[in-house]
Structure 1
Amino acid sequence: MKKYPEYKEVDIGWLKQIPKHWKLKRVKHSLEFFDNIRKPLSSDERGKMQSKKYDYYGASGIIDKVDDYLFEGEYILLGEDGANLISRSSPLAFKACGQFWVNNHAHILKPIKSNNLDYFVHLLESIDYTVSVTGSAQPKLTQEALGNQFIIEPPANEQIIISEFINKNISQIDSLIEKKTQMIELLKEERAALINQAVTKGINPDAEMKDSGIEWLGEVPKHWEVKKIKFVASLRSGNSITSDEIKEEGTYPVYGGNGLRGYTSDFTHDGHFVLIGRQGALCGNVNYAEGKFWASEHAVVATIINNSNVIWLGELLRSMNLNQYSISAAQPGLAVERIQNLSIPCPTIEEQNIIAKHLTVKSAQIDLSIGKIEKEISLIEEYRTALINEAVTGKIKVTESV
């Protein structure tokens, strides 16, 4: 990429030099604020609305639909508060178009005079606001702090060229990321199908089959038994533990319904176990714990009976989508009694071990492929961020022919 012929020094923390003919300004001199028009609506107020035709924006994007709008046209929204000001795990600055409503958690801005909106969306997204943010428990970027933030302003014609260059390249990059994300989803589907086939039909394609007598299961190998879960494993909820007893570091891991929660000084179990999420929207999900650990009251611990294979049982339970057996409530939950009386197909212990080994090898191969694609996506995203940053700050010269 080409560079501009001359640069000048600036000292605004996040940038050291800019093209000589570009201007150094404050946000409030390049963009106009419309924060005085925004208005929050409670969830109760939004819930009573009928048509819900218009987008309702918060700090990180659209969070609901409402019956009316406050803004019409194209604006820049930039999150005012929340952890995303520091973590930047999602876009902080973004464009809102059409007719929409904004609550009091996002700043609303529009370019002054001939300034290009798309250019300033990309510029504002590339800035590190850490030094301007106040509050630790609830980070906040006030209108005053944002307005006094130094930014750079190229000539209007260059803003257009830069924004068109970025939009074109982002479109291509995002398309590539989407294709790779779809590849990951296909691999996950392949893994799920592989597991389901192995734990419900076995890995011998020539095995003689019989009707299992279970509607969701259909046929199973003729030599397999059908048993209730309680005859294969004992299911019991974990032990209560307070949040104060869970630390970021400690001797023994604490597992809840969704995996590792932290560490504590004591343990409730020692060995290899299947853990099932007991409460919440993700109840029924399956994890493993090995060694000495504390199982909290939010997990159901499956203790193997008669040397059944832990991995075989865990993958079978995972394939059963246990969430479908949750009790409907504000806080969904699994009834242990109901789960342990579900019928499952049971191969011999020897065949369980073979299936578990097969799934471990195959899953590892698929996970390796997924990991490689995820790394590729991460590198592409880094390139995407760097390309935008270099274009909007003048580190590279973008021309109409690019």
Structure 2
Amino acid sequence: MSSIKWPKKRLKRIVRCKYGDSLSKENREKGDVNVYGSNGVVGSHNKSISFGKTIIIGRKGSSGSVHFSENSCFPIDTTFFVDKTTTKADIKYLFYLLGLLELDKMNSDSAVPGLNREHAYSKEVLSPSYTEQKIIAKYLDKTCASIDTIISIKQKQLELLEALKKSIIHKAVTQGLEDSVEMKDSGVEWLGKIPRHWKAVKLKRISKIQSGLTLGKQYSGNLVKRSYLRVANVQDGYLDLQDVSTISLPKKTAAGLELKKGDVLMTEGGDLDKLGRGFLWEGQIEKCLHQNHIFAIRPIKSKLMAAFLTLITTSSYGRIYFEATGKKTTNLASTNASKIKAFPIPLPSKKEQGEIVDFLNKKTTQIEKLKKNIIKQIETLELYRKSIVHECVTGKRRITDNDLKE
């Protein structure tokens, strides 16, 4: 096969993209038909609106994302879809072709990203014969399946490493580093047994919890300008300081709201699995304040290490406590100062806390290094997959009978 023999055509001469239909969760009936949104499968229903193999393209939200269904399905109104009624091309070949067109960059709505169908139609692509399309699709199905299997194995390795890291952290911060130590009942439902020489102490006994800045107040007189952290700045496992807001207020007021190096930041609300997860503030911004939806926990240095507290909040025990005590809504959850103050801390001596922190820093660094290597391998495989698809749909790779053999 050679691309020289393939004519060029505008995409609109090859395919017509149909609008998905409205189908709220409340109106879905029990069934085995997949319902697709712009991100992929979002549920099921008892009837379809497509016929046979279907390509689903994100129209709003994750606009330009391309998904494939082997069977008839129900694409909702945030999508376009393509089936045998809207093209004469081989559906699977077309799926591979559309995946290379960078449709996600054809947004027409800056507020709510939306795929401009006319922009997509204007794309010029090579158009092999239907027979050639079938051969290409068959080869790519076989080749991409092999690559996807390897990627799946790599992703499973990442999951196992993350589970191992959580297990190591949980054991260390709740049971210590010595396997032979004598244990006792902590008296805390979610904590279980702790080493006999440890204590279970409420967080309010070994720290100060500082409330934050309430927005909307009007200040006058001599004011100073200060940066302040919003909930959006405190992410899962890291701080996003690309967009930090500022406020002008009296110097005395600002002084009572300043973060100090060693504070542990904790958000009031968010996703349930991230609720109560602490992040150690290391003074990244001088004289920085924090909004009142972020708690700043300031450990009493003689009793509690900030790094040890951070590890406890990320442990399975910390997750169980905040998930059990948090106030839950449909998609979000929240905690409050009282729940945080009542958080029972398994407390060894400062010396032992330091040993646990050093041990966990070493172990988690090793695990993160392994994860980083695997992520690079996955990225390489994904690039390889994309390059093979590109070579095939542009005719740069000649597919032989041997390529199609099992």
TM-score in terms of structure 2 length? 0.82
Match of 1:285 in 2: 277
Alpha-carbon separation, structure 1, partners of 2:376 and 2:58: 28
SS at match of 1:55: strand
Query: Once the 2 structures are TM-superposed, how far is the Cα of residue 110 of structure 1 from its aligned partner?
Result: 3.6
Query: Once the 2 structures are TM-superposed, how far is the Cα of residue 136 of structure 1 from its aligned partner?
Result: 3.0
Match of 1:360 in 2: 361
Specify which of 67, 75, 81 is matched with residue 108 of structure 1: 81
SS at match of 1:73: coil
| 1:40-79 equivalent positions in 2, closer than 5 A | 40-41=22-23, 43=24, 46-79=25-58
Match of 1:348 in 2: 349
Residues 177-232 of structure 1 show CA distances to partners (whole Å, capped at 9, x for unaligned) of 11111111111111111111111111122323333233333332222222111112
Query: Once the 2 structures are TM-superposed, how far is the Cα of residue 241 of structure 1 from its aligned partner?
Result: 5.0
Match of 1:230 in 2: 204
Q: Is the 8 A contact 1:51 1:66 kept in 2?
A: yes
Match of 1:25 in 2: 9
Residues 79-118 of structure 1 show CA distances to partners (whole Å, capped at 9, x for unaligned) of 2344544xxxxxx223234332223332222467763211
Q: Is the 8 A contact 2:50 2:83 kept in 1?
A: no
**Mapped pair 1:275 → 2:265:** yes
Kindly tell me: are residues 326 and 386 of structure 1, through their superposed partners in 2, closer, same or farther at Cα, counting changes over 3 Å? same
Specify which of 122, 145, 167 is matched with residue 119 of structure 2: 145
SS at match of 2:276: coil
Alpha-carbon separation, structure 2, partners of 1:209 and 1:216: 16
Q: Is the 8 A contact 1:255 1:294 kept in 2?
A: no
Specify which of 21, 35, 38 is matched with residue 39 of structure 1: 21
Query: Once the 2 structures are TM-superposed, how far is the Cα of residue 132 of structure 1 from its aligned partner?
Result: 5.3
Query: Once the 2 structures are TM-superposed, how far is the Cα of residue 125 of structure 1 from its aligned partner?
Result: 0.9
**Mapped pair 1:294 → 2:275:** no
Taking every aligned residue pair, what percent have the same amino acid on both sides? Answer: 24
Unaligned runs of 5+ in 2: 217-224, 248-256
Q: Is the 8 A contact 2:270 2:333 kept in 1?
A: yes
SS at match of 1:284: coil
Deviates more, 1:341-350 or 1:163-172: 341-350
Query: Once the 2 structures are TM-superposed, how far is the Cα of residue 77 of structure 1 from its aligned partner?
Result: 2.4
Q: State the one-letter code of the partner of 2:292.
A: E
Match of 1:9 in 2: none
Kindly tell me: are residues 60 and 342 of structure 1, through their superposed partners in 2, closer, same or farther at Cα, counting changes over 3 Å? closer
Q: State the one-letter code of the partner of 2:67.
A: F
Match of 1:10 in 2: none
Query: Once the 2 structures are TM-superposed, how far is the Cα of residue 50 of structure 1 from its aligned partner?
Result: 3.9
Q: State the one-letter code of the partner of 2:381.
A: I
Match of 1:336 in 2: 337
**Mapped pair 1:155 → 2:129:** yes
Q: Is the 8 A contact 1:323 1:334 kept in 2?
A: no
Kindly tell me: are residues 154 and 277 of structure 1, through their superposed partners in 2, closer, same or farther at Cα, counting changes over 3 Å? same
Query: Once the 2 structures are TM-superposed, how far is the Cα of residue 269 of structure 1 from its aligned partner?
Result: 0.7
Q: Is the 8 A contact 1:251 1:263 kept in 2?
A: no
Q: Is the 8 A contact 1:325 1:339 kept in 2?
A: no
Alpha-carbon separation, structure 2, partners of 1:350 and 1:170: 53
Alpha-carbon separation, structure 2, partners of 1:251 and 1:393: 55
Kindly tell me: are residues 28 and 184 of structure 1, through their superposed partners in 2, closer, same or farther at Cα, counting changes over 3 Å? same
Query: Once the 2 structures are TM-superposed, how far is the Cα of residue 303 of structure 1 from its aligned partner?
Result: 0.7
Match of 1:134 in 2: 108
Kindly tell me: are residues 110 and 211 of structure 1, through their superposed partners in 2, closer, same or farther at Cα, counting changes over 3 Å? closer
Deviates more, 1:118-127 or 1:297-306: 297-306
Higher strand share: 1
Match of 1:325 in 2: 325
Matched residue count = 368
Alpha-carbon separation, structure 2, partners of 1:150 and 1:251: 52
Match of 2:252 in 1: none
Residues 345-382 of structure 1 show CA distances to partners (whole Å, capped at 9, x for unaligned) of 21111111111111111111111111111111111111
Q: State the one-letter code of the partner of 1:341.
A: A
TM-score in terms of structure 1 length? 0.82
